[in-house]
Structure 1
Amino acid sequence: MADERLIKSRLRVKAHGEVFTPRRMVEQMLDLVRPELETGPNFVDKTFFEPAAGDGNFLVAILRRKLRAVERRYQPGVWPTESLFALASIYAVELLEDNHRAAQAALLAEFVAFHQRVGGACGVRTNLYRSAVALVEHNIICGNTLTGRDDRGRAIQYSWWHRVLNEPAMVRRVAFTFDSLRDSAAGRSVLDFPPQHAYAVCRIDHVHKEVRTDD
Structure 2
Amino acid sequence: MLDLVSPELETGPRFVDKTFFEPAAGDGNFLLAILQRKLDAIKKRYQPEFWPIESLFALASLYGIELLEDNHAATQAGLLEAFTAFHLNNQTVCNYRTKLWRSAKYLISVNILQGNTLTGLTDRGDPIQFSWWNRILNIPGTVQREPFSFSSLHDAATGAFDFTVYDSYAPCRIDQVHKEVKTDE
TM-score, with length taken from structure 1: 0.83
Contact kept? 2:27, 2:71, Cα under 8 Å = yes
Amino acid at match of 1:108: L
> For residue 144 of structure 1, what is the aligned residue in structure 2?
116
Q: What per-residue deviation string (whole Å, max 9, x for no partner) do you get for residues 119-178 of structure 1?
A: 111111100000000000000000000000000000000000000011121000010000
Structure 2 residue runs of 5 or longer lacking an equivalent are none
1:199, 1:213 within 8 Å by CA — same for their partners in 2? yes
Determine the structure 2 residue equivalent to 1:131: 103
Q: State the partner residue of 2:173.
A: 203
**Partner of residue 94, structure 1:** 66
Looking at both structures, which has the greater relative contact order when contacts are Cα pairs under 8 Å and sequence separation is at least 6? 2
Paired amino acid for 2:34: I
Which residue of structure 2 aligns with residue 113 of structure 1? 85
How high is the sequence identity, in percent, across the aligned residues?
A: 64
Distance of 1:39 and 1:183 partners within structure 2 = 32
Summarize deviations over 1:26-60 as a string: whole Å, max 9, x none: xxx00000011101000000000000000000010
CA shift in 2, pair 1:110/1:162, >3 Å: same
Over 3 Å counting, the alpha-carbon distance change for 1:60 and 1:54 in structure 2 is same
Match of 1:163 among 128, 135, 140: 135
**Could you tell me whether the CA contact under 8 Å between 2:69 and 2:114 is conserved in 1?**
yes
Looking at structure 2, the residues matched to 153 and 196 of structure 1 have their Cα atoms a distance apart, in angstroms, of 18
CA distance in 2, matches of 1:111, 1:189: 37
Conserved in 2, the CA contact under 8 Å of 1:131 and 1:205?
yes
Task: Provide the TM-score with structure 2 as the length reference.
Answer: 0.97
Alignment match of 1:66 (pick from 28, 31, 38): 38
2:120–2:150 CA contact under 8 A, matched in 1: yes
* Partner Cα distance (2:4, 2:45) in 1: 20
Alignment-derived partner of residue 160 in structure 2: 189
Q: 2:16 aligns with which of 40, 44, 50?
A: 44
Tell me the amino acid that sits aligned with residue 112 of structure 1: T
Find the structure with the greater CA-based Rg.
Answer: 1
Q: Counterparts of 1:183 and 1:55 in 2: how far apart (Å)?
A: 28
Write the distance in 1 (CA, Å) between the matches of 2:166 and 2:113.
20
Any unmatched runs of 5+ in structure 1? 1-28
> What whole-Å deviation, never above 9, does each CA across 1:168-202 have from its counterpart, x for those lacking one?
21000010000001222x23324x37434100100
Q: 2: distance between equivalents of 1:193 and 1:212?
A: 20
Q: CA RMSD in A?
A: 1.2
Matches within 5 A, 1:70-81: 70-81=42-53
Deviation at 1:214, TM superposition (A): 1.4
What is the rounded CA distance, in whole Å, between the counterparts of 2:30 and 2:173 in structure 1?
Answer: 28
Aligned pairs, how many?
Answer: 185
Conserved in 2, the CA contact under 8 Å of 1:175 and 1:193?
no
